[in-house]
Structure 1
Amino acid sequence: MVLAPCGWILELTSTVAPAWRTINNIPGESSDLVLQQGLWDICKTFTSSRDIQCNQQDTQYFSAQIIQIARGLMLSSLILNLIAIGVASAGVRCWTDKPQWTVAGVGGLLIFISGVLTIIPVAWYTHIMTSIFSTSTDVRVGYCLVLGFIGGIMEVLGGLVMSFGLCRCCSRRNRNERPRTFAVKPTRNPSPPHRAPTVSSVSSVSSVSSVPYYSKQSEMDFTRAKRQQDSRPANSTAYKARPYDTDL
């Protein structure tokens, strides 16, 4: 997603700028004259000054087959790259958890094709640059070819990486994707009602553990029960009260 727009900007500069090749040492002209030729325009520049004269006519240069083909391929690459960026943006959807791998893969494939459409005319022009009609034999590579190569390679790499989404979609193994699991609260059984320990339970606890059963509440209950027992009549032999569970 970063390489594709950057490559598009470099392609646009390479297509519009008139600097696919430069011609120096033109016979019959001043030695500081440099002729810059592109796909759509030709400009005259001077090394001793900053004067630039564009819209120069050269019928034999513009009538070359490579110029017509390069125009069509570069324009097709620019348009296709814009469409591919839109498709890839809709497929990636960085604002969601799960991207659409099929749409993103198709967008990456279109970006890859756009890069190839750029590299073909640039490489072809570089190969036959010296054979195209020129008024001098001192022909040099312009900066537009360099920008075109860099932009095409960036698009090819970016589109190739993004097109792996098609492979991941077919194999159903998406990177960093885990099935969503919804947290379900476990159903807890209601706790049984609280019961005071009985004599048998206390005796069993005391027999198992060496730590005596003690709590602040039990001490208060025991004191209260003792006070109630002291307030009873003296004839305690005739009355036998059952001990409370809290007394223990």
Structure 2
Amino acid sequence: MHTPASMVTGIVFAPLGLVLVFTAAITPQWREGQARLGASGPGSPLRSGAKGQGKGGARPASAGALLLLRSDGLWESCLQVENSELKQCWPVAGSYRRDPRVRLAQGFILTSLFLCGTGIMLACIGVRCWTDTPLRGVAATGGLLVVIAGLLSLTALSVYTHNLPRLGMADPSKAIKSARFPRLSLHPAGSLYFGWLGSCLQMLGGSALLFSFKRPAYPDCPSCLKLRVCPACRPCPEIPNRPDNDVYEVSC
């Protein structure tokens, strides 16, 4: 069977988009921030840790301060001290986890992954590479699900990116204002870019599969104008009046 180019494009791009969106969903680098934390004062929470690290080998870049790196994802947050092995990750909690925009992004991403996986399965069934005639309606339905999945993931990424500095900050009056815990300046991180790229590939692959709804136009058989010539099927007979020739009615 000659698989249409639109189906090939959809079958290639849709799974790639699914992998990228899934990678973005499970990694904690949706937003990142850093702050320089003083380590020389007696009240510093990392003073003892810095001393212990200095005895073991590599010391921080600055003897008087530590660079604290914070990253947040949809389901996990991490905290790390630069140029050290001090890193800790934990499930999202507190006001960040309860933020309705974070919950919206979580729900949309999970729904997007489910719909995209279902659409890819339908597209694979519709292409039917082991037969001569593809199930165009099934493949196009799979493409429609992939397009919806791409729209959902794009919506989740847009909402998260637009509100990125304010996520988890719904109650500024209750925020800890202390020199020991400086406020981080947050910015988009790598997982967001994986998500954007994956969503665009989902849209492209799903749109290509949607073209499966359209039946291709085949030329007329020169010796029998009532028949259509399908490139994937047998050609029409050149001399239909001969008794030893069979006439095939092709339906593609």
Which TM-score tier does this pair reach, normalised by the shorter chain?
0.5 to 0.7
The aligned residue for residue 3 of structure 1 is 13
| Matched ranges for 1:232-247 at <5 A | none
Does residue 20 of structure 2 align to residue 21 of structure 1?
no
Shift in alpha-carbon separation, 1:122–1:26, aligned structure 2, 3 A? farther
- Structure with the higher strand share, 1 or 2: 2
| Matched ranges for 1:97-112 at <5 A | 97-112=132-147
The aligned residue for residue 33 of structure 1 is 68
The aligned residue for residue 209 of structure 2 is 162
CA distance in 2, matches of 1:51, 1:186: 86
Shift in alpha-carbon separation, 1:9–1:50, aligned structure 2, 3 A? farther
Match of 1:85 among 108, 120, 123: 120
Shift in alpha-carbon separation, 1:27–1:65, aligned structure 2, 3 A? farther
- Report deviation, 1:128: 1.0
Q: Which has the higher contact order (CA 8 A, sep 6+)?
A: 2
Does residue 82 of structure 2 align to residue 47 of structure 1?
yes
CA distance in 1, matches of 2:230, 2:167: 54
Aligned to 1:173, the other structure's residue is in SS state: coil
Aligned to 1:163, the other structure's residue is in SS state: helix
Q: Do the aligned partners of 1:35 and 1:45 also contact (CA within 8 Å) in 2? A: yes
Does residue 151 of structure 2 align to residue 116 of structure 1?
yes
Aligned to 2:203, the other structure's residue is in SS state: helix
Q: Do the aligned partners of 2:27 and 2:191 also contact (CA within 8 Å) in 1? A: yes
When Rg is computed on C-alpha atoms for both structures, the one with the higher figure is 1
- Report deviation, 1:163: 0.3
| Unaligned runs of at least 5 residues, structure 1 | 189-248
Q: Do the aligned partners of 1:25 and 1:33 also contact (CA within 8 Å) in 2? A: yes
Aligned to 1:2, the other structure's residue is in SS state: helix
Q: Do the aligned partners of 1:26 and 1:136 also contact (CA within 8 Å) in 2? A: no
| Unaligned runs of at least 5 residues, structure 2 | 1-10, 39-45, 47-64, 170-181, 220-228, 245-252
- Report deviation, 1:185: 9.5
Q: What is the root-mean-square deviation of aligned Cα atoms in Å? A: 2.7
Scaled by the length of structure 1, the TM-score of the pair is 0.67
Shift in alpha-carbon separation, 1:91–1:174, aligned structure 2, 3 A? farther
Shift in alpha-carbon separation, 1:39–1:174, aligned structure 2, 3 A? farther
CA distance in 1, matches of 2:133, 2:218: 9
Q: Percent identity?
A: 30
* Number of positions where the alignment pairs a residue of Structure 1 with one of Structure 2: 185
Aligned to 2:90, the other structure's residue is in SS state: coil
User: Deviation digits for residues 25-55 of structure 1, max 9, x if unmatched?
Assistant: 1667764211111111111122212432111
- Report deviation, 1:174: 7.3
Q: Do the aligned partners of 1:27 and 1:136 also contact (CA within 8 Å) in 2? A: no
